[in-house]
Amino acid sequence: MAPGHSTCAGCGIPAIARTVLAATDDPVIVVNATGCLEVTSTLYPCSAWKIPWIHSAFENGGATAAGIDGAIKALRKRGKISKEKRIQIVVFAGDGGTYDIGLQSLSGALERQHDFLYVCYDNEAYMNTGGQRSGATPYGADTETTPAGKHSFGKCEKRKDLMSIVIAHHIKYAAQANVAFLADLAKKAKKALEMEGPRFLLVLQPCTNLWKFPTSQYVNIGKLATETNFWPLWEYLDGKYKINWATENPKPLEEFLKTQGRFKHLSKPGGEKVIAEMKKEVEENWKRLVDLADV
């Protein structure tokens, strides 16, 4: 991926794309769902992609990858491409294109065991359209469609547990990563790209626009997400769970929340109840993960 794309200052998406793509020497075809990465990297007649790349719509990253996988298999069978040459298909899609509108297409492609790596860069809302809530938006977050107001504290529902949904498809490898931990992401991408079949990476991507923080801060805020256990780093391989980063003393969730405009309303009276609920969710999720990893 070449420089010259037009992602926002302080956006981690290019770092995610570059880190994943650098993790293999195989030729790669990139499939991009409609979203921030797609619109900022392919403004005709320019393209930031030095490798084959396709975008066709929002909700069909999985199905598009499936078609390419079918083409590779068919052309291999007919001797049009070498049988030995490994070709990687990597899908990049945001949380809207993955948790919500693209979930069916992803589910179908996972179930059919196509040979592809799906990378969801998760900025926890529809950012390409200006910040509307998605199935990835956390409880209590202020978004354009779940604004905090006199009678509202922001989003009233918890984030969808996408990792469990993905793992339920009997895939070999799935991992949760964070753009603030690039070495961990690189390791996971490399591991995933050495395997065959469907593989999945869910990568947290703090967004300056929706989360509302200074553009210099995305790495620090990403770190806090993991250090507070809001976004643990973990992986699933062949039925086994492994936590990749842990501390005896996780930081209080407030340290993460206070850095961002989307949670600013929670400092007002009444906010403490919402924060308590958020903490409960974080603790339960962490406990569940620890239990799974212990098995």
Partner 1 sequence: MTNTTNKTNSVALTGGAAAAEALRQINPDVMPVYPITPQTPIIETFAKFVADGEAETEMIEVESEHSAMSAAIGAGAAGARAVTASSSQGIMLMAEMLPIASGMRLPILMLVSARAISAPINIHGDHQDVMAVRDQGWIQIFSENAQEVYDNTFIALRLAECVRLPAMVVMDGFQTSHSVENLEILEKSAARSFIGEYIPKKYLLDFENPVTFGPVGLPNSYFEFKRQQIEAMNRVMSEIGEIFGEFGKISGRNYDVFEKYKLDDAEKAIVVAGSTAGTAKVAVDELREQGEKVGLLKIKLFRPFPYAQITEALKNAKSIAVLDRTVSFGSHAPLYSEIANSLYQIPNTRYQIQSYIYGLGGREIFKEDIKKVFKEDWNNKEIKYIGLKENE
Please report, as ranges, the residues that interact with partner 1 according to CB under 8 A: 27, 29, 31, 38-39, 42-45, 47, 49-57, 59-60, 62-68, 70-75, 77-78, 81, 87, 104-105, 107-108, 111-112
To partner 1, the closest distance from the beta carbon of 238 in angstroms equals 25
| Cβ proximity of 58 and 101 under 8 Å | yes
| Cβ proximity of 212 and 260 under 8 Å | yes
To partner 1, the closest distance from the beta carbon of 159 in angstroms equals 24
Tokens of 99: 């948790």
Instruction: Classify strands 148-149 and 152-153 as parallel, antiparallel or unpaired.
Output: antiparallel
How many angstroms separate the CA atoms of 199 and 76, rounded? 22
The CB density around residue 212, as the number of other CB atoms within 10 Å, is 15
Residue 75 or 156 having the CB closest to partner 1:
75
131-145 b/e with 16+ CB inside 10 Å = b? Answer: bbbbbbbbbbbbbee
Residue 62 or 154 having the CB closest to partner 1:
62
To partner 1, the closest distance from the beta carbon of 80 in angstroms equals 8
Residue 138 or 198 having the CB closest to partner 1:
198
To partner 1, the closest distance from the beta carbon of 127 in angstroms equals 16
Residue 148 or 193 having the CB closest to partner 1:
193
Residue 1 or 266 having the CB closest to partner 1:
1
How many angstroms separate the CA atoms of 191 and 193, rounded? 6
Residue 77 or 240 having the CB closest to partner 1:
77
To partner 1, the closest distance from the beta carbon of 224 in angstroms equals 33
41-52 b/e with 16+ CB inside 10 Å = b? Answer: bbeeeeebbeee
How many angstroms separate the CA atoms of 93 and 85, rounded? 26
To partner 1, the closest distance from the beta carbon of 7 in angstroms equals 13
